Chain A
Amino acid sequence: MKLTLILSAAVLAVSLQPANAADKLRIATEGAYAPWNFSGPNGTLEGFEIDLANDLCKRMNKECEIVAQNWDGIIPSLTAGKYDAIMAGMSITPKREEVIAFSKPYAAAINSFAVLGDGDLANLPMAGKPLSVDSEAAKPVLEQIVKLIEGKAVGVQGSTTASSFVEQYLKGADAREYKTTEEHNLDLVAGRLDAVVANATVLSAALEKEDMAGVKLSGPLFSGKVFGMIGIGLRKEDTALKADFDKAIEAARTDGTIKTLSEKWFRLDVSPQD
């Protein structure tokens, strides 16, 4: 009896301890998705999400540690408790929401094609124009693109909204899945792929690299339900942490921090609109 009392008191004491005082908040990122998150020249993590994570942690008054994790296992490792949050350009999708919870969105997802400048797909319609794939206007454009892309090798990063987009909307394409966007970019340059689909911010950052000369964006800047909004992935049971993040994101959005960081890293504003 006494033992039970002591034990339950101990459990209570541990569980009552405020989380922010007891342990660091561990945030996982991919580290290979520039300029959202990537390893800088000296090996430290850098990027839009790293800056934003640090800003949000300051707002929540928490000590944070940002860790790199392969995209492949990023959700299972969250549910397994290896870290507490994911900030890795992850779109909020219904399928992911079956497994984890998301904070309010902190960015909108815009995807695009990148192709070889002298390839067959260099002149897809609506180049550089925003297009929501859910809209009526998108139907004829998508039809045109589907015809052009039939049988072409299209690279995407596996388990991304880009891969679901290709699966759902570009069925005739020969879709190939890669571990990282860097790898499919290499294969585009090498001529193994006719096109890649990825987040437009990531692609345009990659295009600035010297070895990507000859590659250009093509077709519309896609948005829509399939791409979703980007939020922080959290375990479903961590509702208090979600409330903290939601509050911090809202504050960072209204005071323009997200916009400033977005323009610093992407040269365009991806902050979520209402």
Chain B
Amino acid sequence: MNIFDVSFFAENFVALCRGIPLTLQLTLLSVTSGAVFAIVLASFRLSGNQVLDGLARGYIFVFRGTPLLVQLYIIYYGLSQFPELRKSFAWPFLREAYWCASLALCLNTAAYSAEIIRGGVIAVPLGQIEAAKAYGMGGLTLLRRIIAPQAFRLMLPAYSNELILVVKSTALASTITMMEVTGIAAKLISATYRPVEIFIAAGAIYLLLNFSITRLLRLLEYRLSRDRRPHQAATGEHA
């Protein structure tokens, strides 16, 4: 047996690609729902209301402080132990590993993202907010024109980190029977007992996914920071 068999690698790389749609679905679903939830949590944190702030703090404390795998197991294996829950409206969702995985990833990423959003918002210079207020802006106008655009740009580098972490975290869904990239890799290894090529192929797929994501985010970051780039000489050149 070769140490590294290139054709075996290629063959399994193709087989593993069949897991990409599920990996992407889990990522998209949890990132979008997680972002919405994170905005709610961040606004609780920034609300100045002690009760709301405390609630959000507690949530973030628990979900950032415990391993995602444990959260996933509690949602998938733990909740299903209660017959009351199995008879409830939630069971059609919680019965499916797909929704359990999405839910766990969503709840987890929301906790991290909320702090990223909060960080972005409080990093907006106070002087600008005061200036805007002096112009008579308030409430939603202030948020829409001054705070949100800048907070978004400020949080983007940290948030792209979080996106990468979510892509990699989807691998944990394989522990609850999901056949995403890692799940397929485990199955192929159990059939061939050749972990080297298969795990390297799986790793390469995650690398490609994350490479595309970082590129996209870098592009977005570039477009959002037009005012910070040195002005191009006004010679009318449009490359």
| Residues in A lying within 8 Å of B, measured CB to CB | 72-73, 75-76, 79, 95-96, 98-99, 158-159, 163, 176-179, 183, 186-187, 190-192, 211
**When the two chains form their complex, are residues B177 and A95 in contact, meaning their CB atoms are under 8 A apart?**
no
Contact A95–B191 (Cβ < 8 Å) = yes
With beta carbons under 8 angstroms apart, the residue of B80, B86, B177, B190 that contacts A72 is B190
Interface residues of B in 173-228 (CB under 8 A from A): 175, 177, 183, 186-187, 189-191, 193, 195
Chain A nearest CB from B227 CB (Å) reads 52
Q: Does B95 contact A (CB under 8 A)?
A: yes
Q: Which residues of A contact B37 (CB under 8 A)?
A: none
Lowest 4 CB-CB distances: which A-B pairs, in order? A159-B190, A190-B80, A99-B193, A176-B177
Nearest to B78 among chain A residues (CB) is A186
Contacts of A159 in B (CB 8 A): 189-191
Which of A72, A75, A186, A192 is most buried by chain B, counting CB atoms within 10 A of its CB? A192
Which of B81, B97, B190, B195 touches A158 (beta carbons < 8 Å)?
B190
State how many angstroms separate the Cβ of B201 from the closest Cβ of chain A: 16
> Within 8 Å CB of A179, what residues of B?
175
Q: Which of B65-101 contact A (CB under 8 A)?
A: 77, 80-81, 86, 95, 97
For the A-B complex with A96-B193, A191-B95 known, give 20 more contacts whose Cβ atoms are closer than 8 Å. Answer: A72-B186, A72-B190, A76-B189, A79-B193, A95-B191, A98-B193, A99-B193, A158-B186, A177-B183, A179-B175, A186-B81, A187-B77, A190-B80, A190-B81, A190-B86, A191-B80, A191-B86, A192-B80, A192-B97, A211-B81
Pick the residue among A76, A163, A177 that contacts B195 (CB under 8 A): A76
**How many residues belonging to B are interface residues under a CB distance threshold of 8 Å?**
16
State the CA gap A182–B205 with chains docked (Å). Answer: 31
For B186, the chain A residues whose CB sits under 8 A away are 72, 158, 177
Residue ID in chain A nearest B91 by CB atoms: A191
What residues of chain A lie closer than 8 Å to B86, measured between beta carbons?
A: 190-191
Q: Which residue of A lies closest to B77 (CB)?
A: A186
- How far apart are the CA atoms of A95 and B190 in the complex, in Å? 10
Within B94-131, the residues touching A (CB, 8 Å) are 95, 97
Q: List 13 A-B contacts (CB under 8 A).
A: A72-B190, A76-B193, A79-B193, A95-B191, A96-B193, A158-B187, A163-B190, A177-B177, A179-B175, A190-B77, A190-B86, A191-B86, A211-B81
User: In the complex, what residue of chain B is closest to A99 when comparing beta carbons?
Assistant: B193
Residue from the set B81, B95, B187, B190 with the largest chain A CB neighbour count within 10 Å: B190
A95: chain B residues within 8 A (beta carbon): 191, 193
A177 touches B187 (CB 8 A): yes
Q: How far is the CA of A187 from the CA of B86 in the complex (A)?
A: 12
User: In the complex, which residues of chain A have a beta carbon less than 8 angstroms from the beta carbon of B95?
Assistant: 190-192
User: In the complex, what distance in Å separates the CA atom of A176 from the CA atom of B175?
Assistant: 11
| Residues of chain B contacted by A96 (CB below 8 angstroms) | 193
Instruction: Tell me, rounded to whole Å, the shortest Cβ–Cβ distance linking B100 to chain A.
Output: 10
Q: CA A180 – CA B156 in complex, angstroms?
A: 40
